[in-house]
Amino acid sequence: AQSVAQPEDQVNVAEGNPLTVKCTYSVSGNPYLFWYVQYPNRGLQFLLKYITGDNLVKGSYGFEAEFNKSQTSFHLKKPSALVSDSALYFCAVRGLNAGNMLTFGGGTRLMVKP
Amino acid sequence: DAEITQSPRHKITETGRQVTLACHQTWNHNNMFWYRQDLGHGLRLIHYSYGVQDTNKGEVSDGYSVSRSNTEDLPLTLESAASSQTSVYFCASSERTSGSYEQYFGPGTRLTVT
């Protein structure tokens, strides 16, 4: 079985400061890893993914994520947070034999204060 | 542009009534998914389909059914609505052959069962 943990329900950061939203996973085989963002009353929007290759993946809106196989982590980062980054962020994983299904974490609310 | 639409966006119904939520995608994706989103549970998979006439149960399928008669549509039916089914429902789709697995989400339907 595959699973994803987002250990923080909420992350607070000041505008202009770097942000990190944490994600750890458990899968069989090599993972496919994803980050999504959800703004209020909207569906989830794809931000970035890791399949293979460089451990640092760059995505939309200046976000990036670092894949760490030994720590089974895929933390989302941004060098300088914006108030408009405030949203709900979901990490997702697909492992071996999962077909086309993704397993999502519980979500982390990011609050960026001016 | 390709998209996924869901209707209605908001629905209030009474306990015991049958309810159908519509999902329509113009991506021409073979894979379609239904999730529910609840506080404290993140996204949970209800049903999914990998093509016409194919349907499969997800993690929380009891009380729900789907049918896939064409590529574009995957309606979700609540056979006899219960208060526990009050939730926000999201439809998603993905390609079957790309090997990248990211899913694209609709805007959601907020269902209230009274």
pLDDT digits (tens, 9 = 90+) for A9-23: 999 999 999 999 999
Arithmetic mean of pLDDT over chain A: 93
Q: What is the pLDDT of residue A99?
A: 78
Contact in structure between A104 and A44 (CB atoms under 8 Å): no
Q: What is the pLDDT of residue A101?
A: 85
Task: Please give the single-letter amino acid code of residue B68.
Answer: R
Partner A contacted by B97 (CB < 8 A): no
pLDDT band, residue A64 (cuts 50/70/90):
very high
Q: Does position A28 have pLDDT exceeding 90, yes or no?
A: no
* B71-108 confidence digits (pLDDT tens): 999 999 999 999 999 999 999 999 876 677 889 999 99
* Segment (H or E) for A24: strand A24-26
Partner A contacted by B42 (CB < 8 A): yes
* Interface mutation vs chain A, best among B101, B104, B105, B109, most A CBs within 10 Å: B101
pLDDT band, residue B4 (cuts 50/70/90):
very high
Arithmetic mean of pLDDT over chain B: 94
Percent of chain B surpassing pLDDT 70: 97
Q: What is the pLDDT of residue B42?
A: 84
CA distance to partner chain A, nearest, from residue B88 (Å): 10
Q: What is the pLDDT of residue A86?
A: 97
Q: Max Cα separation, chain B?
A: 42
* Interface mutation vs chain B, best among A30, A35, A37, A101, most B CBs within 10 Å: A101
Shortest CB distance from B103 goes to which of A51, A102, A106? A102
CA distance B101 to A34: 9
CA distance to partner chain A, nearest, from residue B43 (Å): 6
Average pLDDT over residues A78-101: 90
Cα-Cα-Cα-Cα torsion A28, A29, A35, A36, nearest 10 degrees, comes to: -60
- Scanning the structure block, which residue is given the tokens 């049958």? B18
Q: What is the pLDDT of residue B98?
A: 64
With CA atoms as reference, the chain A residue closest to B33 would be A101
Q: Does position A96 have pLDDT exceeding 80, yes or no?
A: no
Q: What is the pLDDT of residue B30?
A: 92
Query: CB neighbours (10 Å) of residue A46?
Result: 16
Partner A contacted by B4 (CB < 8 A): yes
Shortest CB distance from A42 goes to which of B33, B40, B107? B107
Average pLDDT over residues A88-106: 87
With CA atoms as reference, the chain A residue closest to B110 would be A41
Cβ pair A99:B50 closer than 8 A: yes
| DSSP structural state of residue A64 | E
